[in-house]
Amino acid sequence: MKIRHIYISPGHNFRGHHGREPDAHPVLELMEVECVAGKGLIGDRYFGYEENYKGQITFFAWEVYQDLCRQLSVFDRDPSVLRRNVIVEGVNLNSLVDSEFTIQEVEFFGVEECSPCYWMERAFAPGAEEALKGRGGLRARIVSNGLLQRL
């Protein structure tokens, strides 16, 4: 599995914004990020969000991003607009649900699919929510402390 991108954001642009405009917190691309067991990613909006939170880190497949671009003929959107923390290549993320897995010596537990919501229509393009059903990424808990790096 290869890490293609690592993103964090200090605030929520979409969560809790039903019926109003999204906020404009930046998405920051990093070369590395510190994972804290049971807490999340240092600097991210979900760090320490709530005890045992199922989305301490989120993953998205590079291959799904590329397919989405082709399927919707959208080639001017960076994967950061999908609001997932780590974009990985070479793994079926759905196979990691209910499983422990390790990336670069950091241990995780895959909790559930990170289901797409209606904001994907605005963040990426019309049709994105439907196109991502069943392949919206992975929510996971961080089991051990460590550093993830984009190599």
Q: What angle do CA 95, 98, 101 make, to 5 degrees?
A: 70
Average pLDDT, the chain: 91
* Helix, strand, or coil (residue 134): coil
Q: What residues have CB less than 8 Å from 150, skipping those under 6 apart? A: 3, 4, 5, 6, 30, 31, 32
**What pLDDT, on a 0 to 100 scale, did the predictor assign at position 16?**
54
Q: Band the pLDDT of 21: cuts 50, 70, 90.
A: low
Instruction: Tell me the per-residue pLDDT of 31-46, one tens digit each, with 9 for 90 and over.
Output: 999 999 999 999 999 9
CATH topology of domain 2-12+24-34+60-149: M1 Pyruvate Kinase; Domain 3 (2.40.33)
Backbone angles phi, psi at 36, to 5 degrees: -115, 120
Predicted confidence (pLDDT) per residue in 90-132, tens digit: 999 999 999 999 999 999 999 999 998 888 888 899 999 999 9
The two three-digit tokens of residue 69, written as one number: 């671009």
pLDDT at position 148, please?
A: 98
Predicted TM-score (pTM) of this structure: 0.91
Task: State residue 117's pLDDT score.
Answer: 80
Distance, in Å, from the CA atom of 41 to the CA atom of 44, rounded to the nearest integer, reads 6
Best CA proximity match to 66, nearest among 151, 148, 135:
135
